[in-house]
Chains A and B, each alone.
Chain A
Amino acid sequence: MIRRLAALSRKELRQLFASPIAYVVLTVYVALTGIYFFQHLVSYNQLLFVYQSEGMTGGGFDQGTVPSRINVLNEVFVPSAEDFGLFLLVVLPLVTMRVFAEERANGTDELLLTSGLRPYEVALAKHGVTYAFVLLLLLGSAIYPAVVVLRAGLGMEHLVALVIGQLFYGCAIASLGLACSAFTSSQIVAAVLGYAIPFVLLDFAWLSNTVSEGVAAVLREVALLSHYGSFARGVIELRNVVYFAGVVALGWLASVASLELNRAR
């Protein structure tokens, strides 16, 4: 089974990196994260300048007069990490849309399923390769938070927490996108659904004023963003890990179900 999985994963990887789409997605993501990280850094520097100027402090000496709540963690690190999460949502459906849908449109999915591979193995290989691509995206953009970690003394552990959180979050979005791709032969439909479902699941704050407190609490529990924020702040919570692992598992199961249904049709 391992050999079959490895062979299929190699094929998926070759397919992914043979087309320019993977590089375009990497470029767009790294450029977007770089620009936004820079914007946060500039804003933070301006804020520091205002606080350190004579008018604000009355004293005018550098260190210590800036309130501790104005810091690089709250002003740069966390907002950047939140932006990075949104950008993952923008770029990942572009990668996931073709994974299953393309095979189905070309009819190669039937070849796969009659070649001795089980549906769960096919889904496992395709999901695994996509998650590896998510990790690659994150490593490309991890340079920005790493700069803050190294220069501001935040500690490598904090960076580890952020990357773990982004990986969970990215894999959850990718998993939903892959499930959408598995149920259609149209890449456009897969992309639209791959955007729509995570976008609606992103944050239910827009509903909190119109529903009761109990329903709002449930919706908060379902929302992606409410589980992502604590990783950026350096805290790994069991409930968030379970949530993202659950979404990933459900996405994978839905993909397997789609392949099984396709075979049974």
Chain B
Amino acid sequence: MAFLPAAGVVMILVGVASYYATRSLHGMSAFSAANVAIGLVLLVIGAVAQARRFRGFSGAESRRVVLRWTAILVGALVLVVGLDVWARVMTARIDLTVDRMYTLSDESLLLCKELEKKGGPPVELVFFEDALLAKDVRLLVDAYDDTCPGVKVRDASRREPPQAARDIYTTTATTVIACRGEVCDPVGYPSERNITTAVARFTREHAIRVYFTIGHGEIDLASESETGFSGIASLLRDQGFDPQAFVGPAASEVPADADLVVVAAPERDLMPEELAVLDAYLTRGGRLLVLADAGQRSSFYSEFLPRWGFTLDDAVVLDRASSPLLQDPKPVNLIVHTFAPLNPVTRNLSARTMLLLPRARPVELARKPAPDDKLERAAFASQRAWVSRDVAAALAGKDVEPPDAKDSQQISIVATGLYPRGNGEEDTSHQARIVVIGNRDFASNRLLEALYNRDLFLNAVRWLANDEQRIAITDKAWTPVQDPLTLQTTVAYFYFLAFALPEALLLLGIFAWWRQQT
């Protein structure tokens, strides 16, 4: 009979092991289930047989000891379970990751307070436990559950999603879906920024409407090619914005529901009527984002922007340090790593979070339109950069030598303007705002995700749309250095770690055995 429990244990182990080996094919197979079930039965039969043979505690004192220790063990088990339940309720944790990956930032916590104050049904984060990235973000999702009273986390399986989430297109990478009532939105890559943005969407009355002017050779939001800009349209939708086209000549004014207008690299002149419409919009406290490209000569740059305090010379910024980038020998691919620390558009950018701006155009400040206006330069080329006014030659790779006597002033690529026109400084939501970025290609499909280009674009849009709170939430770094070990270094470590160290330990073991024998 002693064979039975051992056979039972073996069958349970085989059942569990076969499940792990084949679970990706068909989950729990009949073979695995049968092994576990029969193994359990054998264990019980063996235990009963052993118990019947048990004669060890026939005396009264022995029985008292057995009872006492059984009671102690049961009591200890109950105590441990109780403590475990208490610890789960307490949800205390210490986050020792380098960038505090799993601790919500102050901005997210502020949003949580907003949600709590507004009341209403909680935002539900449907967390797919079987998604590709589930293990990586479980702790982050738990942080919302633990510290955000208006947000509840619901574990779900991709095979059987909750009813509200069934109509949403999901992939194996979809880990989190944010829902409120019957309305659900998938969260893109489940970082804190994206989850908080998804939650924030439910606190807004309507999506932030962004109008892009068209008809003057501006960027093509529909083009999915490398040089197209469909990426920013997707990004804006994903972040809770609603991008729309604004046909300037056909409209007498900017639509009333516009939260901001984007003039993205017009190649041709805007009609005077269109410029007047934009002027009137800004005077009413409108918001404008301008992307400019080197070599463009639209009246928008030469006539309209100087009226609001910006000068965009017909020039291109060159920097030799960045020549190897994009496998382009011409020094036109600018790396930007110097930022105005207090400017709202660049305040979360630093030397560690650089931008890649090919064919950048200098953006300088002109005279303020009104004394109270606040104009500020926000991002700068490096000290070695220079400006070439022969744009065609520079872009063709001809005029690529820096001048002998370079102007020591830093060259600005991004500038912002704030225009408190009689609305009082207290009410910032009605101040006109402009952001001018002397570059277009950084937002192209090819480069939007390169370095921190995406952050610059989103920061600008968020500041213009009075959504500054979200600017400070940066995607935290998983690891500061992404490629710490080359293959050669790895092999060197391998020889030491997998061979030399175990060898030394084995030699020690042989020595111990030899000493024991002698």
Residues of A within 8 A of B (CB): 17-20, 22-24, 26-28, 30-31, 34-35, 37-38, 41-42, 45, 48, 58-74, 78, 140, 143-144, 147-148, 151-155, 157-158, 160-161, 192-193, 195-196, 199-200, 205-207, 209-210, 221, 229-230, 233-239, 241-243, 246-247, 249-250, 253-254, 257, 260-261, 264-265
Closest B residue to A30 by CB, please name it: B502
Q: Are A34 and B481 in contact (CB under 8 A)?
A: no
Most B C-beta atoms less than 10 A away, residue of A27, A67, A206, A230:
A206
Distance A82 CA – B12 CA, assembled complex (angstroms)? 23
Distance A192 CA – B135 CA, assembled complex (angstroms)? 31
Q: Are B501 and A143 in contact (CB under 8 A)?
A: yes
20 A-B interface contacts by CB (under 8 A):
A20-B513, A24-B506, A34-B502, A38-B494, A59-B446, A60-B327, A63-B482, A64-B450, A72-B479, A73-B478, A74-B478, A233-B139, A236-B94, A237-B92, A238-B90, A239-B84, A242-B80, A257-B73, A264-B57, A264-B65
Distance A68 CA – B97 CA, assembled complex (angstroms)? 15
Can you list, as one digit per residue, whether each of B308-328 has a CB less than 8 Å from chain A (1) or not (0)? 000000000000000011110
A147 to chain B, nearest CB (A): 6
Closest B residue to A265 by CB, please name it: B56
The 8 closest A-B pairs by CB, nearest first: A23-B509, A34-B498, A151-B484, A246-B80, A153-B480, A234-B97, A264-B65, A157-B96
For residue A48, which residues in chain B have a CB less than 8 angstroms away from its CB? 482-483
Q: Are A38 and B481 in contact (CB under 8 A)?
A: no
Q: Are A261 and B69 in contact (CB under 8 A)?
A: yes
Q: Confirm or deny: B342 has a beta carbon within 8 angstroms of a beta carbon on chain A.
A: no
Interface size, chain B (Cβ < 8 Å) = 87
Distance A42 CA – B487 CA, assembled complex (angstroms)? 7
Q: Are B76 and A250 in contact (CB under 8 A)?
A: yes
For residue A147, which residues in chain B have a CB less than 8 angstroms away from its CB? 485, 493
Q: Are B189 and A64 in contact (CB under 8 A)?
A: no
Q: Are B451 and A41 in contact (CB under 8 A)?
A: no
Partner of A18, one of B80, B101, B486, B512: B512
Q: Are A161 and B96 in contact (CB under 8 A)?
A: yes
Q: Are A206 and B501 in contact (CB under 8 A)?
A: no
Can you list, as one digit per residue, whether each of B481-512 has a CB less than 8 Å from chain A (1) or not (0)? 11111110010011001110110011011101
Closest A residue to B94 by CB, please name it: A236
Contact A265-B57, Cβ < 8 Å, known A45-B490, A61-B325: yes
Q: Are A206 and B505 in contact (CB under 8 A)?
A: no
Partner of B475, one of A38, A64, A68: A68
Q: Are B16 and A42 in contact (CB under 8 A)?
A: no
B residues 18-50 near A (Cβ < 8 Å) are: 19-20, 23, 27-28, 32-33
Distance A243 CA – B91 CA, assembled complex (angstroms)? 13
Distance A192 CA – B251 CA, assembled complex (angstroms)? 82
For residue B65, which residues in chain A have a CB less than 8 angstroms away from its CB? 260-261, 264
For residue A247, which residues in chain B have a CB less than 8 angstroms away from its CB? 80
Closest A residue to B484 by CB, please name it: A151
Contact A69-B83, Cβ < 8 Å, known A235-B94, A238-B92: no
Q: Are B87 and A242 in contact (CB under 8 A)?
A: yes
Partner of A158, one of B88, B98, B509: B98
Q: Confirm or deny: B13 has a beta carbon within 8 angstroms of a beta carbon on chain A.
A: yes
Distance A230 CA – B91 CA, assembled complex (angstroms)? 13
Contact A246-B84, Cβ < 8 Å, known A61-B325, A69-B133, A236-B94: yes
B476 to chain A, nearest CB (A): 9
> Can you name 19 extra interface pairs (CB under 8 A) apart from A60-B326, A250-B73?
A18-B512, A23-B510, A34-B499, A38-B490, A38-B498, A59-B447, A73-B479, A155-B97, A196-B13, A234-B101, A235-B94, A235-B96, A238-B90, A238-B91, A242-B86, A243-B84, A246-B81, A250-B77, A257-B73
Partner of A234, one of B96, B446, B449: B96
B314 to chain A, nearest CB (A): 28
Distance A155 CA – B95 CA, assembled complex (angstroms)? 12
Partner of A261, one of B66, B135, B512: B66
For residue B19, which residues in chain A have a CB less than 8 angstroms away from its CB? 206
For residue A154, which residues in chain B have a CB less than 8 angstroms away from its CB? 97-98, 479-480
Q: Are A233 and B510 in contact (CB under 8 A)?
A: no
Q: Are A235 and B102 in contact (CB under 8 A)?
A: yes
Contact A206-B325, Cβ < 8 Å, known A143-B501, A250-B80: no
Q: Confirm or deny: B6 has a beta carbon within 8 angstroms of a beta carbon on chain A.
A: yes
For residue A199, which residues in chain B have a CB less than 8 angstroms away from its CB? 13, 16
A98 to chain B, nearest CB (A): 15
Q: Confirm or deny: B401 has a beta carbon within 8 angstroms of a beta carbon on chain A.
A: no
B211 to chain A, nearest CB (A): 30
For residue B56, which residues in chain A have a CB less than 8 angstroms away from its CB? 261, 265
For residue A28, which residues in chain B have a CB less than 8 angstroms away from its CB? 502
Closest A residue to B450 by CB, please name it: A64
Q: Are B509 and A236 in contact (CB under 8 A)?
A: no
Q: Are B498 and A31 in contact (CB under 8 A)?
A: yes
A224 to chain B, nearest CB (A): 13
For residue B32, which residues in chain A have a CB less than 8 angstroms away from its CB? 206
For residue B73, which residues in chain A have a CB less than 8 angstroms away from its CB? 250, 253-254, 257
For residue A31, which residues in chain B have a CB less than 8 angstroms away from its CB? 498, 502
B74 to chain A, nearest CB (A): 11
Q: Confirm or deny: B247 has a beta carbon within 8 angstroms of a beta carbon on chain A.
A: no
Distance A24 CA – B32 CA, assembled complex (angstroms)? 33
Q: Are B481 and A27 in contact (CB under 8 A)?
A: no
A204 to chain B, nearest CB (A): 10
B299 to chain A, nearest CB (A): 34
Distance A172 CA – B480 CA, assembled complex (angstroms)? 33
For residue B83, which residues in chain A have a CB less than 8 angstroms away from its CB? 242, 246
For residue A37, which residues in chain B have a CB less than 8 angstroms away from its CB? 497-498
Q: Confirm or deny: B473 has a beta carbon within 8 angstroms of a beta carbon on chain A.
A: no
Closest A residue to B98 by CB, please name it: A155
For residue A72, which residues in chain B have a CB less than 8 angstroms away from its CB? 479, 481-485
Distance A61 CA – B84 CA, assembled complex (angstroms)? 50
Distance A69 CA – B140 CA, assembled complex (angstroms)? 14
Q: Confirm or deny: B52 has a beta carbon within 8 angstroms of a beta carbon on chain A.
A: no
Closest B residue to A164 by CB, please name it: B96
For residue B485, which residues in chain A have a CB less than 8 angstroms away from its CB? 41, 45, 72, 147, 151
Contact A221-B84, Cβ < 8 Å, known A38-B497, A237-B93, A238-B90: yes
B454 to chain A, nearest CB (A): 11
For residue B487, which residues in chain A have a CB less than 8 angstroms away from its CB? 42, 45
